[in-house]
Amino acid sequence: MLRDYRIILILSAGLLSGFGSWVLAGAETVGDASKGKPIYEKNCLICHGPEGRGDGPMGQSLHPPAPNFASPESQRKPDSEWMKVIREGHPDTAMTTWKGNLSDQQFLDVLAYARKLSRGVEKGRS
């Protein structure tokens, strides 16, 4: 049930902010964390770390440092905000755009995996 509300939130926020076409352009509306994991490990782990704590080999040397996905601040952000940052990058940080490098479905998969990390589900956390 919560998953359904997340999909509605992503669709609504995306349409209102002008980046909703990625969801409506034929991609599935739900990411697959198991498919997002290898994408994350290849592209994100170097900064965000293996558990999304911002402790990757480059993460703490960045200004500002890579965020900890499990932090209260990250937890409060809606999926639509996470998706926007993954797709478009984040100004004044090392987070670059991934547009043109990942498919619409891959964006959803990476988001699903990052959210899984944010809840501590990987590495036996709960």
User: pLDDT tens digits, residue range 12-37?
Assistant: 444 444 444 344 344 446 899 999 99
pLDDT in the model for residue 24:
38
Interatomic CA distance for residues 87 and 122, integer angstroms: 23
| pTM above threshold 0.85 | no
User: Is residue 42 predicted with pLDDT exceeding 90?
Assistant: yes
For residues 42 and 120, the answer to whether their CB atoms sit within 8 Å is no
User: What sections of 1-126 are H helices per DSSP?
Assistant: 2-17, 21-24, 33-43, 45-48, 72-76, 79-88, 104-118
Q: What is the pLDDT of residue 30?
A: 87
Q: What is the pLDDT of residue 50?
A: 96
CATH of domain 2-124: 1.10.760.10
pLDDT tens for each residue of 43-97: 999 999 999 999 999 998 999 999 999 999 999 999 999 999 999 999 999 999 9
